[in-house]
Structure 1
């Protein structure tokens, strides 16, 4: 049980600390090339926003940070409005999806006491009830209104299960699976991700025969989705690749994003018509560097530390480790913020290259002004390494 909850917290809560946004695009194929237009940040929210799901062609569900809690948000594509379905002060909801042939939705609920359960929610009132009581479901997909395919936490791994809600039976299929599960268009099969050493593979499952079959390798990518014609979309960093198992021998370019606010694409989904694409991406490295700067100039220790990883490493350039960890950073900066009333940093030059930000700074402290240069490296949506050039 101890290992189960340790894994539960690692897989859900620690990931939820990453600052991500959900971007929506219109997509279409023009002369054999796919284009993405009318970009819109539909979450536009500080903190974790992820796991988008098209409730219908014009409504998107997703998990969204609200006052430090993760609730189910609903976005109306036509009006551009966002409302919340759930309000769970002692926990949060993840993986919201529409239950087939129903207006209701399902979601994984994670309580602060570590209990993880699978619930049904009324889309209008948020009233809820537990659906499956004897499995710790992490990532689900509905095959039909009575059949659920899900990645389930078993000891210290994820295991693929088929659950029949009518007969209340659960059947284990395979182990070492991932979080991305989808119905495969024009078939009765479901795709799931399987770990092979340190790489991911996309597999198919026939729920009737229980047969599984490898589709393709996806490398380090663990999130995929399908176009209506049966083409698999595979994101990697700022690019999405496509692969049709029925006619392609290898993957090819679907679309490459140039917006610096789109980094390390993870969750990805397409509406039923194949006209809209929703992606989850980490915020711009520029935004993280700016966030810590503003906290610094306000002498607000919590705001300053927020963009940093818990295990942040601080070096004197190039590779002399000065200290490690956000707790040590707090010990060093909190007294300075308290005592140095004139503390201020002005950026004279900022260069952003990939996941690296280079700031030339003019720092004022205790009546003195001096130049400094800081290099920030971003990983998983947080500043993980800082190098100061003395």
Structure 2
């Protein structure tokens, strides 16, 4: 946990920025709370960066100071708005407009820090990867590292789903803020971030179904998660905050792309698993009803072996061999040969020769007659 800070009056901000708008801070208590947030934020980032191997609870507990300061800023803004409402100040007043923008900014920041703490509790890569924990046992040396029991894996996945539900609920509360729904691009961005955590939720539930060998349910959940991941990738802005800062509600484009790529691969994998299990079930039923093919093994080398059916060693090849049709080069028969008169080329050849001879005759130069000295011919 981080120690509380002693704040002076020199770092208290006078304005607050919200997207493309800037509002004046009309109440001193709001400025003091925002100054506390600005002071706690770099210490949080430094703690998370220097204690990457610390326990998850300790890393999540480092958010307490910034969450308390953000909550104080939200409460101070709410009290300032209530005071102006008691004075019946019009909504068009500059003070009221500044407070509305300030309220939207500080409440969004509060939700963002809550989501960041949940992301730290979920684990690395926002729970996109699920790795099996190795349990240590001191009874025997050869059994020192055992695989994690399936019940423990399902319990960890259940805890993740609870955190995803809390995160999605926090994101939904953003739309309830006054003035949030007026910005269409902001609403689209919030929906994309919500889709990101929904996709992760479906992914982890699909992993739990896969552990129980329920591949059809897992495939349906993965297909839904892939749709949500595509929606998230198309809704996120191109610019985002620094990747080295503490996790918040900001989602980087690379994270959404990595999730989409992984989900696409998992969908392909589970489609193959579903097809294999379906083939296994169908062939088992066919084998139980003696509906298997009677073709020899040499003709079925490219077929997947029938589960539960042993190879019949007496039916490897057909012996004695039988005369059977085999595919060879096809034969073409021109059955219309005697019924079609093909055009002759004789007339065209004669005309072509005549044209060539005329051209040669025109190109041949005329011979000049020899003349005498006075122009008379000899």
TM over 0.5: no
TM-score interval w.r.t. the shorter chain? under 0.3
Larger radius of gyration: 2
**TM-score, length-scaled by structure 2:** 0.21
**TM-score, length-scaled by structure 1:** 0.21
Q: Relative to total residues, which structure has the larger helix share, 1 or 2?
A: 2
Higher relative contact order (CA 8 A, sep 6+): 2
